[in-house]
Structure 1
Amino acid sequence: MRRAALHNLGCKVNSYETEAMQQMLEAAGYQIVPFQDQADVYIINTCSVTNMADAKSRQMIHRARRKNPDAIVVATGCYVQTSAGEAEEDLSIDIIIGNNRKTQLVRAIDEFRRDHRRVKELAEDSRQPDYERLQLTRTAEHTRAFIKVQDGCNQFCSYCIIPLARGRIRSRSPKDVLKEVRGLAASGYQEVVLNGIHLSSYGMTSYNRQVASEEMAGGGHLMELVEAVAGVEGIRRIRLGSMEPRLVDRAFAERLARVEKICPHFHLSLQSGCDETLKRMNRRYTTQDFRQAVALLRENFAHPAITTDVIVGFPQETEEEFEASRHFLEEIRFYEMHIFKYSRRRGTLADTMPGQLDEETKSRRSHVLLALADRMSAEFRRQEIGREAEVLMEVKEILRGEEYWTGFTREYVRAAVKADGRDLRNQLIRGRASGLIPGTQILQMEEVHV
């Protein structure tokens, strides 16, 4: 039996696609082995979000070639889509498969075996590509299934290469999504996470910026999908991937709150708490727009967990702008913040902007926001103490010498109950948080029997 190994770089959408490719190979008769093992075929699903991601992609491609010089090395994903010239010159690569072509994986491998010539499959038209029909019957997650429902982006933020790597917006049909959700539910999955490159544009068909903005209002297409998924028997929880703040108007928040299966854990993309910086980023919303979105979520959900991403050290960011951003973050009081130092990316507008900041300044500002993120996250967890919560149990582990089952609340706070010899995997347990397990950020739950 031929052996195949896969390695994923990048986002949850990439992870979904890597798992789908693995299942395609299994269906074709391949044995899947760890990437560090000897294999006949290596597949690297690359990332290109930063120059460093490009470098890591090349590193993993070359590692595969060194591991087995006679193996077939397949490079797929964003790096080979945006840097096709570099990929073609790289003699470590036998097969190049860009985005929106991953369904051709097995055919491309067979073609290479037959002809012994390099195979290249790249998306030629990034403006209006078809939606790539990938599907999962299971996921690497034991209890939570990430489902890709949307691809592409029309936003063209000044720091981002993704519209060039992924093409324009396109959406998966609700019928296809529901088929996958039903299959996963039948396999025992109780929680699904709806993901996309730009999830807020789910269902949009227009490339006109003004019309697309109007279509986003109220999130009608996405809401219809959420409501349909909520109707699938066996699904107990639904989470949403990253959302644009302008998606969250009153109609959207109120309608979403009526879906009992929605977890009150919302990731709203911010990037900066300073309006001038947002303009240079081409983010198309203001801090007031963001503030209003958060207020609507908190008005309609009892105790929502709000998380976000923040970039520090964007070109021309002054100390005053950084301080304005920091004050805004303190005002919003996030549960979690993912802090990134700005990284230049060839091919983007921001890469050519004057006023690039030095690494020392970016690191100093990053440390400030990381400390703030830790304080706010600890504060949110303390607010959970004394509350009753539902935890979907995932793994058994030893904490301070005792055996616990750990999982996540609907707000995505990690929590634990004592194992007491039980197998609680994939079970929903109700409990009341009595405090944090010493030395951890994990809530200790006392079970509540209903």
Structure 2
Amino acid sequence: MKKAALHNLGCKVNSYETEAMQQLLENAGYEIVPFAEGADVYIINTCSVTNIADRKSRQMLHRAKKMNPEAVVVAAGCYVQAAGEELKKDEAVDLVVGNNKKTDLVSILEDYFAQRKKPEEDTAYSQNDAPDETLETIIDIGDTREYENLSIDRISDHTRAFIKVQDGCNQFCSYCIIPYTRGRVRSRRPDEVVEEVKRLTISGYQEIVLTGIHLSSYGMDFPEEERLTLLDLIKSIHEVEGLKRIRLGSLEPRIVTEEFASELAGLHKICPHFHLSLQSGSDNTLKRMNRHYTTEDYLNRCQILRKAFKNPAITTDVIVGFPGESDEDFQVTKEYLKNVQFYEMHVFKYSKRNGTKAAVMPDQVPESIKAERSNDLLCLEKEMSLEYRKSWLGSRTEVLMEEEYWWNDIHYMIGHTREYVKAAVPFEEGLKGVVIEGILMEMMNDEVAFLKY
């Protein structure tokens, strides 16, 4: 029995695909082992969202080869799409598996091992030779309209399952390489999604999180007579018996209409936790980013959600130091963020990505200024996040218990409310995966509230 180790880099979609590849290997008889010395096969599901992500991907590939020079090192995913030819020449990499080919991982490995067994028949063959040329491992991702059929029936987290329902993006933001590494919008058939949700629910998962590269585009690629929307998919999932929570991944702000919010509010399993990607609070910067909304439009969408739901959690992404971002643009952004009042913000320093329009834009911002602006917004994020958590004190809510937690040498169980606020109760055996209803009494620290039940 061969031993396989997997390592994931990047987004929740990548995490899902790594879980799916692991289950493909397990079903094929591989023993899954930790990402450490001793594996026969190392699979690194790479990321290419920034140049830094590229570097981390290369580092992990080389680390795997050092752990076992005789092992087969497999580079999979987005970095393969961006730099496949380069990786084929890398002595640390034995196999490259691009996006939409991960489902073929087992057959690609079998073909590779079959060729390695025939050195006496072909003395010129070496470990770094490619597998059979008839087995395509990287495709032109921009040409395909086929959704890759990956699925899972379990994950390592026993309370929450991420489910990929969509791939690709048609937006072409000026800073983003993803449309080139993930291709155009491709959606998973709704019946397949519902069946996976049913399997996961039967396995004991209380909550599912819908994810995709551009989740809001779900269904737009289906034929006109079969056209569906994300809302249609959510309604179908909502009917799954035994499922308690549906959480949504990152949404495009423009999907939030009065109708969309009103329909969601009528579905009791929906978690009022919405991640609306912003990137900048300056209209000048948004225009250069090729984002398709204004700050006024974005704020209106937040107000729609707050009208439909009681105190919903609204989170976002912000990029600082985008080319051409002046001090004035940054201050406008900071004031705008204060005005919107987010629960959480993921703050990123702009990272030049070769192959994108932003990489060659004039007025690139010095790293020192990016760092200052990032620190400034991270401080603001802490303030707003604590304020939102405190806004729930004294309220009755429900918490899905997830893991053990120690604070001041006291043992607790910790989980999240539907709004994704962390809450803790005194530890008891058997609480993991249980939904507990109670009142949030006080903040134990800046991140965790105490739940009395």
Q: Same fold (TM over 0.5)?
A: yes
Counterpart in the other structure of 1:429? 436
1:122 to 118, 135, 138: 138
What is the one-letter code of the residue matched to 1:145? A
Counterpart in the other structure of 1:179? 195
RMSD: 1.3
Instruction: Indicate conservation of the 8 Å contact 1:265/1:412, yes or no.
Output: yes
Instruction: Indicate conservation of the 8 Å contact 2:168/2:179, yes or no.
Output: yes
User: Which of structure 1's runs of 4+ aligned residues deviate more than 3 A?
Assistant: none
Give the SS at the match of 1:354. Answer: coil
2:340 to 298, 315, 332: 332
Counterpart in the other structure of 1:442? 448
* Alpha-carbon displacement from aligned partner over 1:347-387 (angstroms, at most 9, x marks no partner): 00000001001011101111111111000001001111101
1:356 equivalent to 2:368? Answer no
How do 1:256-405 and structure 2 match up within 5 A?
256-405=264-413
Instruction: Indicate conservation of the 8 Å contact 1:391/1:408, yes or no.
Output: yes
Counterpart in the other structure of 2:106? 106
CA distance in structure 2 between the partners assigned to 1:125 and 1:377 by the alignment: 39
* Alpha-carbon displacement from aligned partner over 1:396-431 (angstroms, at most 9, x marks no partner): 222212221100000000000112x43201000001
What is the one-letter code of the residue matched to 2:37? D
Give the SS at the match of 1:17. Answer: helix
- How many equivalent residue pairs? 435
Instruction: Indicate conservation of the 8 Å contact 1:8/1:45, yes or no.
Output: yes
Identity %: 54
Counterpart in the other structure of 1:56? 56
Counterpart in the other structure of 2:167? 151
CA distance in structure 2 between the partners assigned to 1:37 and 1:188 by the alignment: 33
What is the one-letter code of the residue matched to 1:342? Y
1:142 equivalent to 2:148? Answer no
Counterpart in the other structure of 2:260? 252
Alpha-carbon shift at residue 440 of structure 1 (Å): 4.6
Q: Which moved more, 1:395-404 or 1:196-205?
A: 395-404
Instruction: Indicate conservation of the 8 Å contact 1:74/1:97, yes or no.
Output: yes
Taking structure 1 as reference, are residues 380 and 440 closer, same or farther at Cα in structure 2, changes over 3 Å only?
closer
CA distance in structure 2 between the partners assigned to 1:206 and 1:417 by the alignment: 46
Give the SS at the match of 2:64. Answer: helix
* Alpha-carbon displacement from aligned partner over 1:276-325 (angstroms, at most 9, x marks no partner): 10000001111111011100000000110000000000000001111111
What is the one-letter code of the residue matched to 1:180? E
CA distance in structure 1 between the partners assigned to 2:413 and 2:207 by the alignment: 17
2:419 to 405, 411, 417: 411
CA distance in structure 2 between the partners assigned to 1:50 and 1:109 by the alignment: 29
* Alpha-carbon displacement from aligned partner over 1:47-89 (angstroms, at most 9, x marks no partner): 0000010000000101111111111111000001111121111
Give the SS at the match of 2:221. Answer: coil
CA distance in structure 1 between the partners assigned to 2:452 and 2:94 by the alignment: 55
* Alpha-carbon displacement from aligned partner over 1:16-71 (angstroms, at most 9, x marks no partner): 00000000000010100011131000000000000010000000101111111111
Counterpart in the other structure of 2:178? 162
Give the SS at the match of 1:384. Answer: coil
CA distance in structure 2 between the partners assigned to 1:248 and 1:133 by the alignment: 29
Instruction: Indicate conservation of the 8 Å contact 1:4/1:41, yes or no.
Output: yes
1:84 equivalent to 2:92? Answer no
Counterpart in the other structure of 2:123? none
Counterpart in the other structure of 1:198? 214
Alpha-carbon shift at residue 118 of structure 1 (Å): 1.4
Counterpart in the other structure of 1:97? 97
Give the SS at the match of 1:326. Answer: helix
CA distance in structure 1 between the partners assigned to 2:218 and 2:211 by the alignment: 10
Q: Which moved more, 1:122-131 or 1:12-21?
A: 122-131
Give the SS at the match of 1:138. Answer: coil
Alpha-carbon shift at residue 206 of structure 1 (Å): 7.6
Instruction: Indicate conservation of the 8 Å contact 1:189/1:234, yes or no.
Output: no
CA distance in structure 2 between the partners assigned to 1:123 and 1:265 by the alignment: 36
Instruction: Indicate conservation of the 8 Å contact 2:165/2:188, yes or no.
Output: yes
* Alpha-carbon displacement from aligned partner over 1:93-151 (angstroms, at most 9, x marks no partner): 11110001101100010111111341350122413330000010101212000000000
What is the one-letter code of the residue matched to 1:298? R
CA distance in structure 2 between the partners assigned to 1:125 and 1:354 by the alignment: 30
Taking structure 1 as reference, are residues 125 and 165 closer, same or farther at Cα in structure 2, changes over 3 Å only?
closer
Instruction: Indicate conservation of the 8 Å contact 2:170/2:185, yes or no.
Output: yes
* Alpha-carbon displacement from aligned partner over 1:242-288 (angstroms, at most 9, x marks no partner): 00100101111111111110000000000001101000000111111
CA distance in structure 2 between the partners assigned to 1:157 and 1:408 by the alignment: 33
| Structure 2: runs of 5 or more not aligned | 117-128
Give the SS at the match of 1:340. Answer: strand
1:221 equivalent to 2:229? Answer yes
| Structure 1: runs of 5 or more not aligned | none
1:131 to 147, 167, 176: 147
